[in-house]
Amino acid sequence: MSDRTLATLNQADREEFVEHLGGVYEHSPWVAERAWDDRPFESVDDLHASMKRVVEDADRERRLELLRAHPDLGEQTEMTDASVEEQASAGLDQLTPEQYEAFQRLNERYRDAFGFPFIMAVRDESPDAIREAMEERVEHSRTEEFRTAIDEVHTIARLRLDERLDP
């Protein structure tokens, strides 16, 4: 939890607002920067809707950059604190060598197919459920999977907003 409330964010200048919410969309502070203009927000739902609108109004290339800012699932590389916590909640930090190899193969296959990493709101999911979703979604069309990945990013952002703001 945070000591920030929606009321304090509504009063924050752009720099403070972006400092607190710039990581809600992975390595994409531009989302918070643009959403700041929509203040005041009546609710976290209102804030999330504004941030979603910023993403949806961005051109395809900008949204692709947003997707590419996400880490591969199960990857043992440098990640944001939020990604580390989310992946740990799903047990992705404790994969067996066999599970790790399976995730690496699926990550590579997925990235080759779509040009961005597999994105899923993994909080409290199991490695098996995540792997099954990867196996299913790698068969999607490019258009369908781009939309699915953006929708997952929005779900992740909402979870992060709920963590960063006191009710």
Q: Indicate which residues carry an active-site annotation.
A: 70
102: tokens are 């399976």
Query: What is the DSSP secondary structure assignment for residue 40, as one 8-state letter?
Result: P
Would you give the end-to-end CA distance of the chain in angstroms? 9
Three-state secondary-structure class, residue 27: coil
The rounded distance, in Å, linking the Cα atoms of 134 and 87 is 15
Give the DSSP letter string of 72-85. Answer: PTT--S---HHHHH
The rounded distance, in Å, linking the Cα atoms of 9 and 4 is 7
